[in-house]
Chain A
Amino acid sequence: MSIVDRFDPLKKKMFQVLDQEGNIVSKDDVPEIDDKTLLEMYRVMQLARIADIKALQYQRQGRMLTFAPVQGQEAAQIGPMAALKKTDWLSPAFREMAAFLYHGVTLEQTYLYWYGNEFGSRFDDGVHVLPVNVPIGSQISHAAGLAYAAKIQKKDQVALTYIGDGGTSHGEFHEGMNFAAVYNAPMITIVQNNQYAISTPRHKQTKSETIAQKAIAYGIPGVQVDGNDVLAMYAVVKEARERAIKGEGPTLIEAYTYRLGPHTTSDDPTIYRKDEEVEEWKKKDPIIRFRNYLINKKLWTDKKEEKLVQELTDLVGETFKKVEQSQAPTVDEVFDYTYETLPPYLAKQKEAYKAFLKESEEN
């Protein structure tokens, strides 16, 4: 029986493959993933974690701008991305650095974005990731459109989109979900229920007992998953992808997880949550859990860990240096992407501004 048939969101049944210690709780549900992929998943989880911690430090030193940390949610992003094909679309919210890194965005691009440069949103050709999407909820209908286009063009392609628990309160969430469901569009929606929307706890956003149960109203499968269990997240998305490609429509996945860091670097979480709560969730750290699994599987050792952490720390440091040395946007760059061709009045504004800059330089 499929996962969505076994885990009824109305009964608050949460799908899990690994327990908190990384032991297998459900043998039949362990997804088939080759060792190379498992190790790549682990590597990117660690990369995201280290990049995240460093970004926070850089920000505190005044070297990085506002940044939305991902710490604690790596499994909810790496599992799904590993279950996709590289040609599948990702329509993100704004806290998906780990997903970005797995799906082909470079660390340099991600950092450049949080550094305040638009070129951090221009990804390489062939990378099927849309830029960071700040307005809550608006990414869902983008995914519905991507999925609809994939469907009628008969592509072997799905669109996966992310939103937070708070985002499910938004009208745009409903519109996008319903739209995709009506057309059986191959869309997968992952709600990262990290328990808070800035300071507002999940229970103030919705009276639904689970977020997954909202799927019932759309007439699509919904399932609550342990979002700190990378294998469970992989398995459920793999299955959702198969259904989507067969023309059976969208799936709503609630990844039950926790934001270990602040909402953004401007946020002070001590106002609205207790340290003890954070400490409890630290015990459920998705990276430790996955590492234990890999160690049990004889794929990982302390020595390898040490080497990897060093390697990634160096990579992050070097990348940030490059970002710090990047050129600030030029006058042409702030004007020229407004239209394919600059209309005359705008070209005039640009030329006048250039003349002004030249004049003030000379003075």
Chain B
Amino acid sequence: MAQMTFLQAINQTLDQQMEKDASVVVFGEDAGFEGGVFRVTAGLQKKYGEDRVFDTPIAEAAIIGSAVGMAINGLKPVAEIQFSGFMFPGYNQIAMHLARFRNRSRGKYNLPVVIRMPMGGGVRALEHHSESLETLFAHIPGLKLVVPSTPYDAKGLLTAAIKDPDPVIFFEPKKIYRAGKQEVPEEEYTVEIGKAKIVQKGDDLTIVSWGAVLRDLQKALANYKTDKSIELIDLRTIAPMDSAAVIDSVKKTGRLLVISEQVQSFNVASELMARVNEEAFEYLEAPPQRLNGFDITVPLPKGEHHHAIDEKKMHHAITKILGYKI
């Protein structure tokens, strides 16, 4: 066991998988020589050579499109998109091909591709560097989308993603890249894709969150005075979503609050609330609620606090749903 940051856990996982499996290749803009703008892939080119770890031209469509070709021809590409906001030029390849090849070829071609991308806000960045674009991937059949919130899960989920026969979008909340260390086993292990985790047990309210927001939420809960007990679920995988875990929890608590930094309309909470309504309606003691960003363009840093989900907003939302009486 070693103490690792989120970023180190990802680096160590890539290293381990490249060592074990010669078909794993790692590439992206500045991902080779420099090891990426966040240094997530640092040291890998030196160790595994320029054929397996390389800098690409600035061309997101070609990064994803070539990953499709590589996967068909025997490799396991782990591509990096420098920031999730810059996946849009590559979105064509993701939606038109990456997600569809298995179905299109009636199972002849599956694509074991991982696309890593730093995402989310809270780092006072320029335009297009702070978005939470879960919905754009979760809405496409054939894709998986994971968002770890801890170094342990980062390693376990990335290992699972690399071994997965289908394409996985791997979100890295950049705000927590270096925020705190955790014991992470040296040896290989996986965290199952599609399984949520109960972080804290409780009986009166179910709160679902993921990624960097979940970390802030844990602090906010520690500072929240109540005699009620709160169940906290880390969704970890957005697609396929583990709604069963949430529904089980809501059947017990009767109350659901989903907290994320997405914009509100058509977000992950919308889907989760719909599933809870479909399957646990009669257990509800309050209308399911969501706390998230507004339906606005994420403001530049001087206005970002308006959109961000801070402790005050969390406390307010929790108090509101706990106090709801039918």
Contact = CB atoms under 8 A, between A and B. Distances in A.
A78 B207 CA distance: 55
Nearest to B55: A200
B2 interface: no
B57 interface: yes
A84 B299 CA distance: 33
Interface string B287-314: 0000000111101111110110000110
A65 B303 contact: no
A266 B124 contact: no
Interface string B225-248: 000000000000000000000000
B316 A206 contact: no
Interface centre among B62, B294, B316 (most CB of A within 10 A): B294
Interface centre among B62, B126, B303 (most CB of A within 10 A): B126
Interface string A331-357: 101110010000001100110010010
B126 A167 contact: no
B-side interface mostly: loop
Contact of B62 (A132, A171, A329, A346): A171
Given A166-B57, A272-B34, A335-B294, A116 B302 contact: yes
Interface in A109-134: 113, 115-118, 132, 134
Contacts of B299: 118, 329, 334
B271 to A, nearest CB: 18
Interface in B254-281: 264-265
B2 to A, nearest CB: 25
Given A199-B33, A271-B34, A349 B302 contact: no
A24 B61 CA distance: 45
Nearest to B313: A356
A116 B124 contact: yes
A136 B301 contact: no
Contacts of A116: 124, 300-304
A197 B34 CA distance: 12
**What 10 pairs across the A-B complex have the smallest Cβ distances?**
A116-B301, A169-B57, A329-B303, A199-B34, A116-B302, A116-B300, A117-B302, A166-B58, A169-B58, A199-B30
Given A116-B300, A117-B303, 18 more contacts: A113-B300, A116-B304, A118-B299, A134-B128, A134-B129, A137-B89, A167-B58, A169-B59, A170-B58, A171-B59, A171-B89, A198-B30, A198-B34, A200-B29, A267-B37, A329-B302, A345-B295, A360-B312
16 contacts: A65-B125, A116-B124, A118-B300, A134-B128, A169-B59, A170-B59, A171-B61, A172-B89, A204-B55, A272-B34, A328-B302, A329-B299, A345-B265, A346-B296, A356-B313, A356-B316
